[in-house]
Chains A and B, each alone.
Chain A
Amino acid sequence: MTHLAATASTIHLPHVNYVSILPILIMMGGALLLLLLSSLLRRIISTGVCTAITVMTSAAAAVAAIVQWDQVLANGAQTTIAGAVAYDGFSVLIQLLVPLALGLTALVADGYLKREGVVGGEFQVLAMASASGAMVMGAANDLIVVFLGLEILSIALYVLAAFNHRRAESGEAALKYFVLGSVSSAIFLYGIALMYGATGSTNLAKMAEFLARRAVLSNGLLLAAMALLLVGFAFKVSAVPFHMWSPDVYQGSPSPVSGFMASVAKAGAFAALLRVFVSSLATQRLGWQPVIWVLAALSLLVGAIVALNQQDVKRMLAYSSINHAGFILLGVDAADARGISSALYYLVTYTIMVIGTFAVVTVIAGRQDRATGLLEFRGLARRQPVLALALAILLLGQAGAPFTTGFLAKFNVIEAVVLTHGYTLAVIAMVSAAVAAFFYLRVALTMFSPVGEFGDGPDDDVPLDPAALVGAATPGAASGVTTVPPRAWSAAMPGIDELADAPPSEVVEARGKVPVPPATWVVIGFCALFTVVFGIYPAPLVDFAQHATLLFI
């Protein structure tokens, strides 16, 4: 007995700086609390209360992150829990960004859940759990912690994707995401195992130290490990050729979830990617940089080019987010302080824009997320000018138009790459931005077009034919300009058959004003204002991203 006690007394727990993980704890605590409440008080607790709890939890986590920021500014970067968790400017930025994104998503989801008649707090519980995973990834200083964060993030997301179980697409999306996601997780884990074998540790600091001591680039184990880790990250950020899940999953998932995936999941994955490769594996740059180069180039091109032909806005946004991933990868490719800060700046601005965009899509899509075709956006400016204006701002921001946050974001990453002499990649990025402007403008123009106005593609330029109104949307039959009532154009447009195989009757359904819940207005307004205000006066945001980089382990 005494012997046992003696053994036990030799176990010494690592020191835990609880402030450093406070936002994560708050987030997980909030998830558990809400889970408990909604199980016990299923009948009583309303969606509104669940949303309120989620938003308050997010706010608390964000406040905790602000407290952290001051501490980090004062004390500099450090690690805690035996070096497994980093506590630096970079991690704090993610601890702030993710709760912000979650809060916004929760507000959008509130309207969505009420519309779909979902009761219970499971949605918010899962969202909070998922967000805490992303926050863990942002702070992780150990590969296995990265893995845990990744899985916490992903497993909750798989369920969220399947959340609308009345919709077949939702299930399909979830299954595709799940199978491919778990394969990528397994590949990632195997990469960690090999890295463990190659360097003797999964701790990022120890790995870096080990690799700095000897030139081991020819070590096959290490190279294979890097390859597999890159694959895991590339999948999560949906970089080409590991992107194929994202169009299907974004399209099939409930719209608020798509926005969450495009923002939070990407933020977490990019945070971990930056920390693992740019910081810990900096000495092995020759090994991984070319891969990042190719991933970035392919993402930029494929994302932009394929988005051109999309008829479904959610799908288009998925390709656009692949394109954005390519831009952020430029910052990773630059792999210096400027690269990291430009990638972070991009990540922050992009997160806000994409959540706002999906908030508008959620509203437009209507019950069961059906109306996501490009055609549903026609005449929006006339029906709901403010909503259209907000969406236009968000889309212009994504296109990188001047006086929006997107402009400087693109400018910064390209500049970072040029300064490291990556001219080819810079040219690819610029061409891609040029192509991408087309499809953002196309949606914007569609909104501002009344009857029969063109979007961008020639396939939209076809004049309308009343005969086609009946539902037999045969492209060849269209001829001659006629006066078609404003609400009825959608069925007459060719290309309608490219939409999901919804029966024509559903599409013919007249579109009046779509109801926009107040909470969603808040989100849309916030995102649009953020995009414009920080587009005109970006200095504070740029400073923030730069400070976050300077305080980087």
Chain B
Amino acid sequence: MLTVTWLVIALPLLGFVVLVATGRRLGEPWAGWLATAMVSASFLVAIGLYLDLLGIKAPVRSYSENLWTWLDVGGLNLHAGLYVDPLSMTMVLFVTGVSALIHLYSIGYMHGDKDFAKFFLYLNLFVASMLILVLGSNMVMTFIGWEGVGTCSYWLVSFWFERNTAAVAGKKAFLYNRLGDVGFMLAMFLTFENFHSLDYSTIFARVDSVSSLNITVICLLLVVAVMGKSAQIPLFPWLADAMEGPTPVSALIHAATMVTAGVYLLCRVHPLLHASPTASLVVAIMGAVTAFVGATIACAQQDIKKVLAYSTISQLGYMFLAIGCGAYTAAIFLMVAHAFFKALLFLGSGSVIHGLHGEQDLKRMGNLRQYMPITFITFAIGWLAIAAVPPLSGFWAKGDILDNAFAARPVLWGIGVFTAALTAYYMSRLTSLAFFGSDRWGQKHPVDPDPWAHHAEVGEQRAPVESPLVMTLPLWILAFFAATAGLLATSGNFSLSAWVDPVFGSSLFSNHLPAGDLWVLGLLDTVVALGGVALGIWLWVSRTDRPALEIPFLRNAWYVNEAYDTLLGRPSTRLAHFSAEEVDLKVIDGAVNSLAGLVRGAGRIVAKTQTGYLRNYALAMVGGVVLILAFMVTRMWWG
């Protein structure tokens, strides 16, 4: 079957190429419109493919397509192949759809930036990479996309490189992602060793012939990859720092699409996870704990984007909880719903930041509903959706996950419910601080100076203004979907589960709870959500300062960054001090924050041995000779 599937990827890629060639000449705003048009066209093609796919009967509703053979050597044959099934189709639809909206929004948001064209060039490349990741028919294709989105994320996070924090944050994101990538690569090689193929379909067909221990190892390595990409414990600190990127980037990459790549990957390889209860348990625990930790941290942040970042980490945790419980469809459901409401919230916060001329501190906002009514209404929909207030999408998606967790792993269900209350609470806190209360954006000094938050130069305060139509239109559209995505759960034959379930075949645990239980659980969710919302509003609508609820432990993200610094950073500082005098302070400052410092320090020490003196080199050589000879002697006696 010859299709135009490749066009979905080719269009944004074409946009990228055209922008590379002519972006600077096109300039503002045409570069942005071009990029938006490309992604929109890709979305239209995706809709066409979707209708096509609907025409195929359910059990075999998938096809794959080999664009060309990459190599065929010694049993390894790699194709640049695409695999289309309801799972990848769902991803393609919402990736292209949400991307198109965010592209549109960016035209307004990036207005006046000197690197306007460059921004859209990166965005288009990102979308193309993400689609390769999603559509790849083998692990190598997925990996290529995986690397591609990571690299684009690195470029986009450090887009405003003049801020040192942005440059450092970009590097941090890159580093954590690379740690995860090592896991992916190793998983890939082990897969080939055990399954003699990297094609998903072949791998799944051979699951029974591989020992469960090997499958568990492969799954755990993939989980490492996922930890990096989807910011799960313990590799989550980068996501909060990644908020240094422009807000549309946070919405697109660090909320809706890239970070959910991990969820997609684990769903894609569900037959492997299915065969390894151990790995499933690990995923479930990782998800539940991350959901909880992320939510607690979000309760104490005062940078509006950091709250949303930790909230994203927490919501991703829910998705992994679902996967760990075998409820893949539920995970996909939340992923789609989350893409809508979190993108909405980020874009809303971007609108706020835009309206306040760069202010990100919640405590210096307040009463914005008077000044930015559209932003407020749409943001409020997102807020109630993520808080899981019925009948908005979050209620259905989160409810689905919690029901499954209740059936499969009751303890984790408890954590999940508590986290749901926290979610409702911190989002209400955010909304109250930003949109209710008194005007605080004119104040000279922040209420509570937070050394961790980044303050843009605000300068002379002007009254906040509503954003232009290119920015509010995407808000409306996203708000519509955030509100109504719940229909995906309730619309019988057209529901998401009817569509995606055939991909997953069976689930680890059956979710055949009696209808009565479902009602009770749903009621409980509602009570928890409304309680959290009420608490959040009651506590924060009139006061901005409650130190008892913003303890430093949470404000500093459980001191995870500090722990990493102590474990990795301090030795690297010492290493750097070792070659102290000629190394300027800046190196040390920049280095302490990450593993990169350790590597750099080691590099400097090794470089020290490179003295430039001939006899030192000769000495090293002779040393090598002696060592090798010594080794040979051991072979002689014990070999």
A and B interact physically: yes
**A244 x B70 contact (CB < 8 A):** no
Q: Cβ of A459 < 8 Å from any Cβ of B?
A: yes
> What residues of B have a CB within 8 angstroms of the CB of A305 in the complex?
599, 602-603, 606
Whole-angstrom distance between the alpha carbons of A338 and B589 in the complex? 46
Q: A223-B635, A418-B190, A542-B73 are in contact. Are A180 and B618 (CB under 8 A)?
A: yes
| CB-CB contacts below 8 Å: A519-536 with B | none
Q: Cβ of A123 < 8 Å from any Cβ of B?
A: no
| CB-CB contacts below 8 Å: B120-178 with A | 140, 143-144, 147-148, 151, 158, 161-162, 164, 167-168, 171, 174, 178
Nearest neighbor of B604 in chain A, beta-carbon distance? A309
**B614 x A341 contact (CB < 8 A):** no
Overall SS of chain B's interface: helix
CB distance from B261 to the nearest CB of A (A): 15
| CB-CB contacts below 8 Å: A215-252 with B | 217-220, 223-224, 226-228, 230-231, 234-235, 241-242, 244-245, 247-248
| CB-CB contacts below 8 Å: B169-198 with A | 171, 174, 178-179, 181-182, 185-186, 189-190, 192-193
Cβ-neighbour of B587 out of A419, A457, A543 (below 8 A): A457
> What residues of B have a CB within 8 angstroms of the CB of A286 in the complex?
635, 639
Q: Cβ of A458 < 8 Å from any Cβ of B?
A: yes
Nearest neighbor of A310 in chain B, beta-carbon distance? B607
Cβ-neighbour of B193 out of A220, A419, A462 (below 8 A): A419
The proximity string for B residues 601-639 relative to A, scoring 1 for CB distances below 8 Å and 0 otherwise, is 011101101101010111011011100110111011101
**B614 x A179 contact (CB < 8 A):** yes
Whole-angstrom distance between the alpha carbons of A180 and B617 in the complex? 8
| CB-CB contacts below 8 Å: A94-126 with B | none
Q: Cβ of A434 < 8 Å from any Cβ of B?
A: yes
- Interface residues of B toward A: which range? 35 or more
Q: Cβ of A509 < 8 Å from any Cβ of B?
A: no
CB distance from B380 to the nearest CB of A (A): 38
Q: Cβ of B358 < 8 Å from any Cβ of A?
A: no
Q: Cβ of A487 < 8 Å from any Cβ of B?
A: no
Whole-angstrom distance between the alpha carbons of A452 and B167 in the complex? 12
**A309 x B600 contact (CB < 8 A):** yes
Q: Cβ of B72 < 8 Å from any Cβ of A?
A: yes
Whole-angstrom distance between the alpha carbons of A227 and B195 in the complex? 38
Whole-angstrom distance between the alpha carbons of A351 and B165 in the complex? 38
12 pairs from A and B in contact (CB 8 Å cutoff): A217-B635, A218-B635, A231-B624, A241-B621, A244-B616, A244-B621, A402-B144, A418-B189, A435-B599, A459-B586, A459-B590, A475-B586
CB distance from A170 to the nearest CB of B (A): 15
| CB-CB contacts below 8 Å: A414-467 with B | 414-415, 418-419, 423, 426-427, 430-431, 434-435, 437-438, 441, 449, 452-454, 456-459, 461-463
Which one of B168, B603, B609 has the greatest number of beta carbons of chain A within 10 Å?
Answer: B603
CB distance from A241 to the nearest CB of B (A): 4
CB distance from A286 to the nearest CB of B (A): 6
**B617 x A176 contact (CB < 8 A):** yes
**A539 x B632 contact (CB < 8 A):** no
CB distance from B188 to the nearest CB of A (A): 9
Q: Cβ of B519 < 8 Å from any Cβ of A?
A: no
**A537 x B599 contact (CB < 8 A):** no
> What residues of B have a CB within 8 angstroms of the CB of A481 in the complex?
162
A-B contacts besides A402-B148, A459-B590, 17 pairs, CB < 8 Å: A180-B614, A183-B621, A227-B631, A290-B631, A305-B603, A306-B603, A307-B603, A309-B604, A341-B73, A389-B20, A418-B193, A426-B186, A430-B182, A461-B586, A539-B70, A539-B72, A546-B73
CB distance from A442 to the nearest CB of B (A): 10
Whole-angstrom distance between the alpha carbons of A187 and B625 in the complex? 9
**B632 x A287 contact (CB < 8 A):** yes
Whole-angstrom distance between the alpha carbons of A441 and B175 in the complex? 13
**B193 x A457 contact (CB < 8 A):** no
Q: Cβ of B69 < 8 Å from any Cβ of A?
A: yes
Q: Which residues of B contact A (CB under 8 A)?
A: 20, 68-74, 76, 140, 143-144, 147-148, 151, 158, 161-162, 164, 167-168, 171, 174, 178-179, 181-182, 185-186, 189-190, 192-193, 582, 584-587, 589-591, 596, 599-600, 602-604, 606-607, 609-610, 612, 614, 616-618, 620-621, 623-625, 628-629, 631-633, 635-637, 639
**A218 x B639 contact (CB < 8 A):** yes
Nearest neighbor of B144 in chain A, beta-carbon distance? A402
Cβ-neighbour of A542 out of B71, B181, B190, B635 (below 8 A): B71
**A230 x B636 contact (CB < 8 A):** no
CB distance from A184 to the nearest CB of B (A): 7
Which one of A228, A245, A461 has the greatest number of beta carbons of chain B within 10 Å?
Answer: A461
Question: Which 9 pairs, one residue from A and one from B, show the smallest C-beta to C-beta distance?
Answer: A458-B590, A475-B584, A223-B632, A402-B144, A244-B617, A418-B189, A434-B178, A305-B603, A241-B624
> What residues of A have a CB within 8 angstroms of the CB of B167 in the complex?
454, 461
Whole-angstrom distance between the alpha carbons of A241 and B623 in the complex? 8
Q: Cβ of A492 < 8 Å from any Cβ of B?
A: no
**A224 x B586 contact (CB < 8 A):** no
Which one of A414, A434, A449, A538 has the greatest number of beta carbons of chain B within 10 Å?
Answer: A434
CB distance from B600 to the nearest CB of A (A): 6
Cβ-neighbour of A437 out of B68, B69, B158, B178 (below 8 A): B178
Q: A176-B617, A418-B193, A538-B70 are in contact. Are A476 and B624 (CB under 8 A)?
A: no
**A244 x B632 contact (CB < 8 A):** no
Nearest neighbor of B154 in chain A, beta-carbon distance? A441
Whole-angstrom distance between the alpha carbons of A456 and B171 in the complex? 8
**B161 x A306 contact (CB < 8 A):** no
The proximity string for A residues 302-338 relative to B, scoring 1 for CB distances below 8 Å and 0 otherwise, is 1001111100000000000000000000000000011
Q: Cβ of A472 < 8 Å from any Cβ of B?
A: no
Q: A430-B186, A453-B161, A494-B586 are in contact. Are A309 and B607 (CB under 8 A)?
A: yes
**B161 x A454 contact (CB < 8 A):** yes
Cβ-neighbour of B584 out of A224, A242, A427, A459 (below 8 A): A459
Q: Cβ of A401 < 8 Å from any Cβ of B?
A: yes
> What residues of A have a CB within 8 angstroms of the CB of B71 in the complex?
408, 538-539, 542
> What residues of A have a CB within 8 angstroms of the CB of B596 in the complex?
438
**B620 x A244 contact (CB < 8 A):** yes
CB distance from B305 to the nearest CB of A (A): 22
> What residues of B have a CB within 8 angstroms of the CB of A427 in the complex?
182, 186
Which one of B143, B192, B612, B614 has the greatest number of beta carbons of chain A within 10 Å?
Answer: B614
Q: A230-B628, A461-B164, A476-B584 are in contact. Are A244 and B600 (CB under 8 A)?
A: no
> What residues of B have a CB within 8 angstroms of the CB of A230 in the complex?
628
**A235 x B621 contact (CB < 8 A):** yes
Nearest neighbor of A408 in chain B, beta-carbon distance? B71
CB distance from B412 to the nearest CB of A (A): 32
CB distance from B577 to the nearest CB of A (A): 15
**A248 x B612 contact (CB < 8 A):** yes
**B620 x A308 contact (CB < 8 A):** no
**A302 x B606 contact (CB < 8 A):** yes
Cβ-neighbour of B161 out of A217, A423, A449 (below 8 A): A449
Q: Cβ of A291 < 8 Å from any Cβ of B?
A: yes
Q: Cβ of A552 < 8 Å from any Cβ of B?
A: no
Cβ-neighbour of A220 out of B616, B628, B636 (below 8 A): B636
Nearest neighbor of A542 in chain B, beta-carbon distance? B71
The proximity string for A residues 497-517 relative to B, scoring 1 for CB distances below 8 Å and 0 otherwise, is 010000000000000000000
